[in-house]
Amino acid sequence: MCGIIGHVGTGNALETLLTGLENLEYRGYDSAGVAVQNGSGIAVQKRSGKVEELKESIRDAHLEGCVGIGHTRWSTHGPPTDTNAHPHTDETTDVAVVHNGIIENYAELREWLCTRGHEFTSDTDTEVIPHLIQYYLDEGSESEAAFRRAIDELEGSYAVTAMISGEHVLYAARKGSPLVVGVEDDEFFLASDVPAFLEYTDSVVYLEDGDVVIVDDGGVEFTDLEGNPVTRDPETVDWDPEQAGKGGYDHFMLKEIHEQPTSLAQAVEGRIDPENGRIALENFESGTFEGVESVQLVACGTSYHAALYGSLALNQAGIRSKALLANEYSVSAPPVDDDTLVVAVTQSGETADTLNALRRAARAGARTLTVTNVVGSTAAREADDALFIRAGPEIGVAATKTFSSQVVMLTLLAQRIADDCLGAPPADLEMLLPELARLPGTIETVLEQSDAAAVASRFQECQSYFFIGRGLGYPVALEGALKFKEITYEHAEGFASGELKHGPLALVTPETPVFAIFTGQEDEKTLKNAEEAQTRGAPVVAVCPDDHRAVDIADAHLKIPETDADISGLLANVQLQLVSYHAADLLDRPIDKPRNLAKSVTVE
Ligand code: M6R
């Protein structure tokens, strides 16, 4: 889950590398570094901490050259120290390498190299790569052959970019970790993800597992590991750099919360026909899901909450379904057969746990589908089919707009599956689709009128924050709590409303505000549960429409417009996103980069 950037061009590479690293910091921010061909060899500058600190340290370094690589790290092997930061080199700094992924056989390779006189300085798995390349160079291999031979030795997952002293060339390879190439005239970029170089180009080639590319002044050569040419066509991405920047907001998270009207409009565009009560999902023709007997949704974190929402929607539509934590799937997967559809829900499409669950399901014979934000991601490519949520780049580590787009996508998918499998569209489609078409406007209203900042301030000094919901409100309660704890570092928990009385009520005090989510599904029971907490001293914050009965008893109110119960939770979720954001802002937390976390978790 680290970020890689590489540049070969005509101008000074350093600026491009640093911009790329800043754009990639959401992938990890334990340490950062760059290496540049500076005319007399490879110059490396790296240190623990954020890219900002690297920039400070670089002021006096001589790092001029038009070929370079950079890296921002989320530690897996070894703590986030200066030494463990990438790029890594051999002893002579003739070879520099940046790497994302895990080299599973690094211990054996390291030992093998040590017995041949190589000395290591870091705790990382990555350091074996420059040493291996150097070993094969010393043996007499040409640079490209030495790179290929080194890559051939690696077991595990990697996106690797390497440079060799004195050459205007970058060598790169991908297996199990993402790597993309950007091209703009005679400027070439390599990166873990597109936002790294969006300022410079929107022309992108997504590499496949097993690809090896050689980038020099003349262009990019795409090959397989043996050196046979492969064809990789460029695609134009419709994300612009401004979209990937903060756009005037203090934080990416706030910007992304406010982007939801747009991202949700994109999610449903061309997919719903409210007038005729129809859903059209690209190449999923009517009848595509016929024969599906049950659906398993696998995901982690926020995506798991969206998956849970989707599975409840499927069950309510009459389709047997279960959401499962992808990291538990290997030990607790329910049986699958070819009538089982397994849906991987993943914003990045690169989450290792989710990819493993997807692969396990495919091996067991299930039909697979990925719901993701990232075209060209591993999950999108490995599943039988993919559906894209079209949310645009999400930079804040805390997922916001992608959750709501996932929920909308899964809601549409649930209806489509039910339609195909049960032979008739579920009864409420004619109610739901017009509300989905109105959803961007309804969310705009929530954003404009929200009292979340005042509510966050009022309960700022509390000890613990509880979130309760029932039915489709339950995953929203879980997501509300995750968002709150993730960015405020305060204790927060989500519960099914009915569960409070089975234990958690023991924790309730005047210092534990309870955010009660009312989505129109058995609201009277949720109201009773909220009152039970209130009787024991907890302040209740009702998240519900203006004329709801809960407003009369609540200590505070976060207003949502009336809408279809199938999507009402999304409006509540926006209010809860804002509460978390403002609470974290009052505490002066690093909202876009909460401690210990990373946007894309590519390790198990
Ligand atoms: O990229 P994914 O959706 O697969 O990521 C899964 C989780 O790591 C992610 O949803 C995480 O929980 C959120 N960033 C938290 O806000």
pLDDT at residue 376 greater than cutoff 90: no
Cα-to-centroid distance, 294 and ligand 1 (Å): 25
242 — pLDDT class (breaks 50, 70, 90): low
Q: Using an 8 Å Cβ cutoff, are 513 and 466 in contact?
A: yes
Cα-to-centroid distance, 158 and ligand 1 (Å): 21
| Length reported for the chain | 604
Rounded distance between C-alpha atoms, residue 183 and residue 44, angstroms: 25
Rounded distance between C-alpha atoms, residue 188 and residue 138, angstroms: 29
Whether residues 116 and 255 share a domain: the answer is no
Q: What is the pLDDT of residue 244?
A: 65
Whether residues 205 and 353 share a domain: the answer is no
Choose the final residue of a domain: 243, 278, 308: 243
Cα-to-centroid distance, 516 and ligand 1 (Å): 24
Measured by CA distance, the residue closest to atom 12 of ligand 1 is 301
Structural domain that includes position 517: 452-586
Whether residues 235 and 251 share a domain: the answer is no
| Tally of domains within the chain | 3
How many C-beta atoms lie closer than 10 Å to residue 384's C-beta? 12
Whether residues 484 and 503 share a domain: the answer is yes
Rounded distance between C-alpha atoms, residue 480 and residue 575, angstroms: 9
Active-site annotation, residues: 2, 599
Query: Chain-wide mean pLDDT for the chain?
Result: 93
Choose the final residue of a domain: 207, 225, 243: 243
List, in order, residues 6 or more apart from 48 with CB less than 8 Å away.
30, 31, 80, 81, 82, 84, 85
Answer whether residue 602 is part of any domain.
no
Measured by CA distance, the residue closest to atom 15 of ligand 1 is 398
CB-based pocket (< 6 A), ligand 1: 300-303, 346-348, 351, 354, 397-399, 486, 600-601
Whether residues 353 and 410 share a domain: the answer is yes
* pLDDT above 70 coverage of the chain, percent: 98
Cα-to-centroid distance, 274 and ligand 1 (Å): 31
| DSSP assignment letter at 207 | P
Measured by CA distance, the residue closest to atom 8 of ligand 1 is 301
Query: Mean pLDDT across the stretch 332-345?
Result: 93
Answer whether residue 603 is part of any domain.
no
Answer whether residue 600 is part of any domain.
no
Residues facing 294 on adjacent strands? 320, 340
Whether residues 416 and 457 share a domain: the answer is no
Nearest ligand 1 atom to alpha carbon 402: 3
Whether residues 151 and 110 share a domain: the answer is yes
pLDDT at residue 131 greater than cutoff 70: yes
Answer whether residue 238 is part of any domain.
yes
Choose the final residue of a domain: 243, 258, 275: 243
Helices 401-422 and 429-449: angle between axes, nearest 10 degrees: 170
Measured by CA distance, the residue closest to atom 10 of ligand 1 is 302
Answer whether residue 591 is part of any domain.
no
Q: Using an 8 Å Cβ cutoff, are 592 and 396 in contact?
A: yes
Whether residues 221 and 253 share a domain: the answer is no
Q: Match 């590519």 to its residue by tokens.
A: 602
- pLDDT tens across 4-63, in order? 999 999 988 999 999 999 988 877 778 999 999 988 899 999 999 889 999 999 987 778
Residue with the larger pLDDT of the pair 492 and 61 = 492
Nearest ligand 1 atom to alpha carbon 399: 16
What are the structure tokens assigned to 226, written together? 């043996």
Pairing of strands 156-164, 169-175: antiparallel
Pairing of strands 31-37, 294-299: unpaired
Residue 287 burial (10 A CB sphere; 0-12, 13-18, 19+): exposed
Rounded distance between C-alpha atoms, residue 410 and residue 391, angstroms: 14
Residues facing 43 on adjacent strands? 36
Query: Mean pLDDT across the stretch 520-525?
Result: 94
Whether residues 305 and 405 share a domain: the answer is yes
What are the structure tokens assigned to 131, written together? 């040493």
Query: Mean pLDDT across the stretch 520-538?
Result: 96
Answer whether residue 593 is part of any domain.
no
Q: What angle do CA 160, 161, 162 make, to 5 degrees?
A: 120
- pLDDT tens across 549-594, in order? 999 999 999 999 999 999 999 999 999 999 999 999 999 999 999 9
Q: What angle do CA 93, 98, 99 make, to 5 degrees?
A: 135
Q: Match 């050259």 to its residue by tokens.
A: 65
Whether residues 127 and 222 share a domain: the answer is yes
Answer whether residue 604 is part of any domain.
no
pLDDT at residue 1 greater than cutoff 80: no
Alpha carbon separation from 200 to 43, 186, 196, 422, 511 (Å, rounded): 24, 11, 9, 49, 50
Rounded distance between C-alpha atoms, residue 585 and residue 583, angstroms: 5
Q: What is the pLDDT of residue 60?
A: 75
Q: Using an 8 Å Cβ cutoff, are 151 and 173 in contact?
A: yes
320 — pLDDT class (breaks 50, 70, 90): very high
440 — pLDDT class (breaks 50, 70, 90): very high
Q: What is the pLDDT of residue 76?
A: 67
Whether residues 19 and 68 share a domain: the answer is yes
Whether residues 548 and 567 share a domain: the answer is yes
Q: Match 């339950």 to its residue by tokens.
A: 474
List, in order, residues 6 or more apart from 144 with CB less than 8 Å away.
171, 214, 227
Rounded distance between C-alpha atoms, residue 277 and residue 36, angstroms: 58
Q: Which of 26, 343, 345, 347 to mutate to test the pocket of ligand 1 (most atoms within 8 A of CB)?
A: 347
What are the structure tokens assigned to 567, written together? 């999507």
Q: What is the pLDDT of residue 229?
A: 97
Cα-to-centroid distance, 417 and ligand 1 (Å): 25
- pLDDT tens across 68-90, in order? 999 998 766 777 789 999 999 99
pLDDT at residue 426 greater than cutoff 90: no
Measured by CA distance, the residue closest to atom 7 of ligand 1 is 301
Q: Which of 402, 483, 596, 601 to mutate to test the pocket of ligand 1 (most atoms within 8 A of CB)?
A: 601
Answer whether residue 94 is part of any domain.
yes
Q: Using an 8 Å Cβ cutoff, are 23 and 244 in contact?
A: yes
* CATH number, position 430: 3.40.50.10490
